[in-house]
Each structure stands twice: as structure tokens, then as C-alpha cells.
Amino acid sequence: MRKSRTIWGTAVMGGLVGLTGAAGGCGNDSQTPTINAAQAMQGQDIFRSDTFGDETFWTDTLHLNEVIQSAVDPTTALKVGLKVDADALPADVVAGVQDGSISLTDPATTVALLKLGAVVGVKGTVENVNGTDTLTHVGITCALCHSTVDDSFMPGIGKRLDAWPNTSLNPGAIIALSPALTADQKAVYNSWGPGKYDPRYNQDGLNGPVVIPPAYGLLGLNKVTVTGDGDQLEYWNRYVAVTQMGGHGTFMEPRTGVNVTNGTDDLVSSQLPALQEYQLSIPAPPPPAGSFDQAAADRGKMVFEGPGKCATCHSGSLFTDANSRLHDPSEVVSEPEPNGEPSYASRSATKKYRTAPLRGVWQHPPYFHNGTAPTLEAVVETYDSRKSLGLSADQKADLVQYLKSL
């Protein structure tokens, strides 16, 4: 089995990091393709539950099953952004958490939750060993980073929100728990912080994490990564499943020199069509009622289409020109990267960036691929400054309200 140049703890993304568009072959304003409902339902199970055989990596190489068994209690897990599916909890477990009879500071409770299949994006095999429930294998799924919960039971525990980026997940901190990593590797992973991940680090050895993106609202978009490396979701799903999650299969990209094969079987390829169909079926979430000023948003729309020059690139019903062109790094306002990191585009196949689609943009701060704008206000200020737009304070405020309405 060929492996990348570093321990690929970056595999933790388990989903679609870098994802910014979707298959469909449609331009911004052409007819929207349809969804195969039966295939999408199959894809939902793949998205939530399929590890593509990556237990080989997470268990045999990183030994995270041992770390979880001995040291990761539910309170710790929630602190690093792991989520629990409330619908997977039996009534007695719900009652036990509520009355305190089930401890949230005991790693055995985490093992019990994994046995129930309740930890979003983490799949564990629990066996009775000498009378004790023991986590013998653990793997991850797409849902780990590209799902969250609505916190309806308590913070970190609630109903699933598939395709919403888990902005509180700290993948680097989770990876750094592995005893198989060196101190230098752990330092890199711990440097990322919540909601960030570098899907290139385990290939090129450079450290420049990007924000975990949403995986919703993608129907009709062709460019599927922040740098537009592939025209189908299947492209990036294969990249992540093989090179990041550690799933069994092959990914080759001559433009970047990536050629990775895991295992002697292929557990990825057959799952990609249905997985893509499910992702394409998920719409962007509408803004919560009362979350923006409608009158200001109406004025902001005129700024967006006029002096703000936003519609020049954020065009059409999908608010992106990604289907027709990519942009040189010199055209974007998100570079230079923070902390002297190398250009993310320079590490990609296209060496360019796509224009981000804006549906649901209210939901997933921070903004830009590198998270350098913590709020939509900061986004507008950055564009106004770097593009010398000369917007007034009122125009900028109205533009923010319009963005919140999308």
C-alpha cells in the first residue's frame, strides 16, 4: 500500500473539505438537474455511516480506538466538537443523562454511545472482551465534518443537520491524540484550531489549513473545490475518501502528482454516485426568521448589483461564476494567507480559485477559504478596502443585511 509523506492524521475530515460546488453540468441560470430520490436515500446512509474501510488507518495505524477507550469521555468529546445524534439515544439513556445517573466524564459512556451509533461521523465496533465492552475498531464517515446537530437536547447533542459544516470540530486536536504521531506532527495538527483542516498537508507537507465548508446548496454547480480541481462531487469525494479518510481505493491526480492506493480492494468507487446524489439533494438552509432587516436587505441588493460590484462574480441564481471561469490569486481578496502560509491555490491542480456560492452564507462563519474574515461585516470591509469600492457606512451595513438574507 502506498502512503503519503506524512502520517495522514489530516484524514480526520472524513468528508468534503474544500467542497464548493457540485456536479450537474448546468450553467448558473440553466435548467436545474433533477434528483433520483431512491439513489439519494442510499447516499444518505453512505454519507452518515460508510467508512470505506478506513478503520484500517484509524485503528491499525493511529490506534485511536485505544485512546477513546481509555481517555475520551463525552465531556471531552463535546469540547473538541464531536456531536451526538439525539435520535439514536434510547429513552433510558436520555433519562440517565438528564438525571445524572449516566456519567458524562467516563470514557465508558463514550464507548456506549459508539455502540449505539450515536456519535455523528464516528463508527465504532464494540465487542465484549473479558466481560467489558471494548472499542476494538473505529473509523470515520463524511458526516464527521460535514454534519452538526441542532443542540435541541443540550449543546452538542440534538437532531442531525447533514451538510452543515461542523465549525466547532477541532480535527487537529483529535488527530493529535494518537500515540503514533511525532511531537512535530502533533504541533502541526494542534495549530489548526476549531473548524479548520488542511486537506493537502498529508500530500505536500505544507501547513495551511482552510475552513470546513458547507456541503449543501450544490445542485447545478460544476466546480467542487475551493480551487475548482474537479467538475464532479465524485472527484472530491474520492480524493477525501482515499487520501484523507484512509478508505480503500485509489486516487490519482497528475496535475498535483498525487497517486495514492490503500488496500487491495476498492470500497469507494461503487459508493460515489449515490453519495453525490444525496449531497446534491440537500438545499442551503434559509435564514432564520427575524435574522435580518428586510428593508435594509432590499437596499443592500442594489449595492450588491451596483457599486459593490459583487454580482460581477457572484452572478446568477447560484451567486457564482464558478461554472464558467476560475480566478487568479491576484484577483481575490483572501490572500495573502495568514502567518506567512503558502498560497492555497499554489498547492492545487488549477492554481486558481472559484467564486464561492452564497446561498446559506449566513450559516457558516468564518469566511474566505482561510477564515480570515470572522463575520459578514468583515467580508464587506475587506472587499471595500482591497477593491477600493468607496462604499459608505450605510451601504456596507445594507449589503451585510442582503448577504444575511441569502
- The grid coordinates of residue 259 equal 497517486
Residue type at 333 in one-letter notation: V
What pLDDT score was predicted for residue 225?
A: 86
61-90 pLDDT, tens digit each: 999 999 999 999 999 999 999 999 999 999
What pLDDT score was predicted for residue 33?
A: 78
Distance CA 40, CA 398 (A): 38
Average pLDDT of 305-322?
A: 96
**The CATH homologous superfamily of the domain defined by 294-405:** Cytochrome c-like domain (1.10.760.10)
Contact by Cβ (8 Å): 327, 156: no
Contact by Cβ (8 Å): 21, 354: yes
Q: Taking every pair of C-alpha atoms in the chain, what is the biggest distance, in angstroms?
A: 71
> CA 50 → CA 157, 234, 238, distances in Å?
21, 15, 13
Angle at 114 between CA 110 and CA 118, to 5 degrees: 105
193-237 pLDDT, tens digit each: 999 999 999 999 999 999 999 999 999 998 978 999 998 899 999
- The grid coordinates of residue 239 equal 480524493
- The grid coordinates of residue 368 equal 474566505
Average pLDDT of 320-346?
A: 95
Distance CA 333, CA 382 (A): 7
Q: Sort 233 into a burial class: Cβ within 10 Å, 0-12 / 13-18 / 19+.
A: buried
Average pLDDT of 161-185?
A: 97
Average pLDDT of 254-283?
A: 97
Percentage of the chain modeled with pLDDT above 70 = 92
User: Does the pTM of the predicted model rise above 0.85?
Assistant: yes
Domain borders along the chain are: 9-280, 294-405
- The grid coordinates of residue 319 equal 451567486
pLDDT classification of 31: cutoffs 50, 70, 90: low
85-133 pLDDT, tens digit each: 999 999 999 999 999 999 999 999 999 999 999 999 999 999 999 999 9
Mean pLDDT (the chain) is 92
Distance CA 28, CA 320 (A): 7
Adjacent-strand bridge partners of 251: 260
- The grid coordinates of residue 124 equal 465504532
Average pLDDT of 272-295?
A: 97
Contact by Cβ (8 Å): 241, 247: yes
pLDDT at 140 over 60: yes
- The grid coordinates of residue 120 equal 455523528
Distance CA 135, CA 127 (A): 7
pLDDT at 32 over 80: no
pLDDT at 7 over 70: no
What pLDDT score was predicted for residue 345?
A: 97
- The CA-to-CA distance between both ends of the chain, in Å, stands at 46
DSSP 8-state class, residue 77: H
Query: Which residue, chain included where needed, has cell 502567518?
Result: 339
Distance CA 265, CA 57 (A): 15
Average pLDDT of 244-251?
A: 98
pLDDT at 20 over 50: no
pLDDT at 154 over 60: yes
- The grid coordinates of residue 140 equal 470515520
Q: For residue 329, is the peptide bond before it cis, meaning its omega torsion is within 30 degrees of 0?
A: no
Distance CA 57, CA 319 (A): 39
- The grid coordinates of residue 152 equal 435541541
Distance CA 327, CA 345 (A): 10
Q: Where do the H-state alpha helices sit in 88-140?
A: 91-99, 107-115
pLDDT at 17 over 70: no
